[in-house]
């Protein structure tokens, strides 16, 4: 059941994200919500997708964010359909203490965890790194998050952006 939910989510997410024009890649894309945007970065054409993934894993480790899950969604779809798929992999990173402290403030924060970065290959073979970019200020105000915890949330967000940049450039 859980795998099916992830597979459906990933296929929907992938189809939505692959329809975004490349001209919007360098900046967050506005969503319906005022509390979340989509942040996406093109992977440099000289960087292979496996190298980008390894760069993200290494950078996360250096930044003390734990890779808690890696969902090779395209491989699951390929196994189900028997047809080759473009790469769609969901990486899930976590700062466990910050996550726990957020849930202590309000259990609704659980929907944002763990932090996800999707690596998606578009129809032209271009690799992309995509994540939800939450408006921390709006959520912190609405949920009455203490400033010290808000600062930690921003540190996690900045680490995720650094992970994406490292992956996009193939930096180790």
Question: Which pLDDT belongs to residue 36?
Answer: 62
Question: Which pLDDT belongs to residue 129?
Answer: 98
Question: Which pLDDT belongs to residue 40?
Answer: 94
For 27, other C-beta atoms within 10 Å of its C-beta total: 12
149/146 Cα distance (integer angstroms): 5
102/167 Cα distance (integer angstroms): 27
Angstrom distances, CA of residue 94 to CA of 9, 23, 90, 113 = 20, 30, 13, 7
Rg (CA), the chain: 16
What domains can you pick out in the chain, each with its CATH number? 2-169 (3.30.310.70)
Question: Which pLDDT belongs to residue 101?
Answer: 93
Token digits for 77? Answer: 């779809």
Question: Which pLDDT belongs to residue 108?
Answer: 86
Q: Structure pTM? A: 0.76
Contacts 24+ apart (CB under 8 A), 131-135: 131/38, 131/39, 131/40, 131/160, 131/164, 132/36, 132/37, 132/38, 132/39, 133/28, 133/36, 133/37, 133/38, 133/39, 133/157, 134/35, 134/36, 135/34, 135/35, 135/36, 135/37
Question: Which pLDDT belongs to residue 135?
Answer: 76
Q: What is the pLDDT along the chain (172 residues), one digit of tens a residue?
A: 333 333 333 433 343 333 333 334 444 343 333 456 899 999 999 999 999 999 999 999 999 999 999 999 999 999 999 999 999 999 999 999 999 999 998 898 888 888 999 999 999 999 999 999 877 777 777 778 888 998 999 999 999 999 999 999 999 7
Question: Which pLDDT belongs to residue 145?
Answer: 86
């Amino acid at each position: 059941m859980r795998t099916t939910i992830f597979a459906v989510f990933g296929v929907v997410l992938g189809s939505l994200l692959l329809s975004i024009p490349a001209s919007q890649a360098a900046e967050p894309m506005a969503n319906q919500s005022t509390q979340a945007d989509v942040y996406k970065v093109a992977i440099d054409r000289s960087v292979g997708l496996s190298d980008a993934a390894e760069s993200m894993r290494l950078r996360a480790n250096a930044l003390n964010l734990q890779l808690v899950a890696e969902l090779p969604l395209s491989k699951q779809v390929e196994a189900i359909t028997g047809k080759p798929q473009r790469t769609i992999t969901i990486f899930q990173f976590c700062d466990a203490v910050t996550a726990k402290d957020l849930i202590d403030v309000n259990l609704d924060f659980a929907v944002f965890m763990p932090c996800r970065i999707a690596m998606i290959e578009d129809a032209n073979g271009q690799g992309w790194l995509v994540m939800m970019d939450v408006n921390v200020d709006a959520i912190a105000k609405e949920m009455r998050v203490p400033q010290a915890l808000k600062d930690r949330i921003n540190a996690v967000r900045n680490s995720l952006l650094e992970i994406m940049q490292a992956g996009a450039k193939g930096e180790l």
